Structure formats: structure tokens, C-alpha cells
């Protein structure tokens, strides 16, 4: 076997000849790419990342957990995987985004013109690019925010974690209001039926046994509905926390982006590789032209 081959007939002498011929050009390309990459990395505005970690509570009704002695689940328990997924969905919701954008005036902070016809799309894209929510290994939820201002990033992350309770309460309040209105209508109807039966009992004492039994049944049904209505009002009025806050976000003292060493390395390496490919292509085209001649 020839000394200049190995593997599947690869000619390493051609490689040595190629780099011997073009090493000066490749060196200059590497130096220029290195300088350009360093300059570009220095012009990139650094961004800081602040992180808050929370655990969602068990998604049980506070009223049932406190007022119903036969209810076995504790609203103080940590949430299961389902509650973690609910939490992530709420933290990534449009409602949460609107609250954060309004609280921090992000349109102005991100430099988006109020006259821009696509201002809301740009604001949404900027927000999604800077705010990240993900599940941790132990069913916690991590809220991280990137921003050019470390204090701003920490304040945003803490606000999102705190506002989770507000959004949850808003959702539960709206649903509890619908339930309360429905039960109030049922209570009014039962109260009217009981009054009608009591009037009938006074007018027709001969049917007292049947009417008294009907009145007792209606009163029992009314009491049950009123108990449920009271529980619903507890859910509607009490602003409880739906999370356990494990770690508050603090202003970072080290930038998270850009990684200048990575930018310089990839920029230099990419430029050299591109130059090699162009030289190989030019060499192949030249050989093809020589064959045709």
C-alpha cells in the first residue's frame, strides 16, 4: 500500500499541499475574522438574566378544604404535575403579558414607537424573547427574564411571580361569580316555593302531613344550596396565594449574554472554514476547466 494513503484511499499529501499553498491567506482571514468578531461582540449590548422559582399549590378550593370536614385534600399541599402545567400556562398567558407590559411600560422600554403599525406584534416578540418560563426537575416553575438593566430584570421576574396570584384570583373570581349568580337564582326559586307551600298549609290544614314533608324537603335543599353559595363566596372574595415562592429574583451582577468568547471562536472558525470551502471550490472549477481544454 502506498505511504500517502490511509482509510479509504485518502491522499494526505494533497491536504498538506493545499495548506502549504494557502496558509498565509488562511492566516490573514483568521486574523481579520478574529478582529471583526471581537469588535462585533463589543458592540452587542449585554443582557442580564434574573430568575425567580415558585411551587404552585394544590389546585383545591379553599372553601372546601377549610369548611368541609369530609374533604381529604389540603389546599396547603404542593401541586402535582397537573398544577405545574396549569401554572406554566397562566404565567405564559396573554393576560399575564398584558399586565407585565402595562406595569413596566415595556413598549417604551423596548424602544417601540407608539405610531408603529406593528407595535403590538413587535412588543409580543420582544416579550417572548426576554421572558422564559419552564418547569424545574422537582415540579417547580422557573421564571427568568433577560434585560439590559439587571434591576429591571429582577423586578420583572418578581412581578410575574407575584402577579400569578392576581391572575389566578381573577379567573376564579369570574367563575365563582357565575356560580354565585346561578345559585342565588336557585335559592330565590326555592324560597318562593317554600312560601307558597307554607301558604297552602295555612289554607289547607287537612293536607298538613304531605305539605309539611314537602316544605322540609325544600328547606333541606335550600340549606344545601346556601351552604354551597357560602363556599362560593369564600372562593370569590378571599385573595389567597396559589403558590409557594421559593426564590425571589435578585439583580444579577454578571451578564448572561452575549458570550463573547463563543462569538469570537465561532466567528473566526466559521470564516476560516468558509474560506477553505471557497478555495476548494475554486480549485475544483479550475481543474474542470483544464480538463475541458
**What does the pLDDT read at residue 210?**
83
Residue pair 187/226 in contact by the 8 Å Cβ criterion: yes
* DSSP calls for 127-153: HHHHEEEEE-TTS-EEEEEEESSHHHH
From first to last of its 293 residues, what are the pLDDT tens digits of the chain? 444 444 455 567 777 878 888 888 888 998 998 888 888 877 778 889 999 999 888 755 555 544 454 444 455 565 577 888 989 999 999 999 999 999 999 999 999 998 999 999 999 999 999 999 999 888 889 999 999 999 999 999 999 999 998 898 888 777 777 777 788 888 888 888 888 888 888 888 877 788 888 888 888 888 888 877 777 766 666 667 788 888 899 999 888 777 777 878 888 899 989 998 988 888 888 777 767 66
**What does the pLDDT read at residue 149?**
93
Residue 54, CA atoms < 13 Å, CB-side half-sphere: 29
Residue pair 180/233 in contact by the 8 Å Cβ criterion: yes
**What does the pLDDT read at residue 62?**
53
Task: Report d(CA 98, CA 101) in Å as an integer.
Answer: 5
Type and span of the H or E element at 246 = strand 243-247
**What does the pLDDT read at residue 184?**
82
**Burial (CB count within 10 angstroms: exposed 0-12, middle 13-18, buried 19+), residue 140:** buried
Topology adopted by domain 48-247: Bacterial polysaccharide co-polymerase-like (3.30.1890)
**What does the pLDDT read at residue 194?**
87
**What does the pLDDT read at residue 248?**
93
Residue 158, CA atoms < 13 Å, CB-side half-sphere: 11
User: What are the domain boundaries of the chain?
Assistant: 14-44+262-292, 48-247
Residue that the C-alpha cell 318562593 belongs to: 192
In a 3-state reduction of DSSP, which class is residue 56?
strand
Buried-state track 201-216, b at ≥16 Cβ within 10 A, e below 16: beeeeeeeeebeebbe
Enter the pTM of the model. Answer: 0.67
Amino acid at each position: 500500500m502506498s505511504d500517502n494513503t490511509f482509510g479509504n484511499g485518502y491522499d494526505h499529501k494533497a491536504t498538506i499541499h493545499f495548506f502549504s499553498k494557502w496558509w498565509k491567506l488562511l492566516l490573514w482571514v483568521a486574523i481579520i475574522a478574529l478582529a471583526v468578531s471581537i469588535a462585533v461582540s463589543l458592540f452587542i449590548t449585554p443582557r442580564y438574566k434574573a430568575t425567580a422559582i415558585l411551587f404552585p399549590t394544590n389546585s383545591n378550593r379553599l372553601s372546601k378544604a377549610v369548611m368541609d370536614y369530609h374533604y381529604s385534600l389540603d389546599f396547603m399541599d404542593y401541586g402535582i404535575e397537573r398544577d405545574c402545567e396549569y401554572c406554566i400556562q397562566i404565567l405564559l398567558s396573554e393576560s399575564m403579558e398584558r399586565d407585565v407590559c402595562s406595569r413596566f411600560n415595556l413598549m417604551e422600554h423596548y424602544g417601540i414607537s407608539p405610531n408603529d403599525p406593528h407595535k403590538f406584534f413587535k412588543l409580543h416578540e420582544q416579550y417572548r424573547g426576554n421572558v422564559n418560563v419552564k418547569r424545574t426537575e422537582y415540579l417547580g416553575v422557573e421564571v427568568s427574564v433577560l434585560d439590559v438593566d439587571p434591576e429591571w430584570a429582577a423586578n420583572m421576574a418578581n412581578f410575574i411571580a407575584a402577579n400569578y396570584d392576581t391572575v389566578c384570583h381573577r379567573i376564579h373570581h369570574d367563575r365563582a361569580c357565575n356560580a354565585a349568580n346561578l345559585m342565588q337564582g336557585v335559592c330565590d326559586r326555592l324560597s318562593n316555593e317554600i312560601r307558597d307551600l307554607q301558604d297552602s298549609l295555612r289554607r289547607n290544614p287537612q293536607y298538613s302531613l304531605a305539605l309539611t314533608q314537602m316544605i322540609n324537603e325544600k328547606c333541606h335543599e335550600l340549606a344545601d344550596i346556601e351552604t354551597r353559595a357560602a363556599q362560593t363566596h369564600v372562593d370569590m372574595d378571599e385573595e389567597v396565594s396559589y403558590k409557594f415562592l421559593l426564590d425571589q429574583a435578585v439583580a444579577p451582577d454578571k451578564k448572561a449574554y452575549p458570550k463573547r468568547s463563543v462569538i469570537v471562536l465561532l466567528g473566526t472558525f466559521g470564516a476560516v472554514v468558509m474560506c477553505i470551502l471557497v478555495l476548494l471550490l475554486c480549485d475544483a472549477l479550475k481543474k474542470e476547466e483544464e480538463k475541458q481544454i
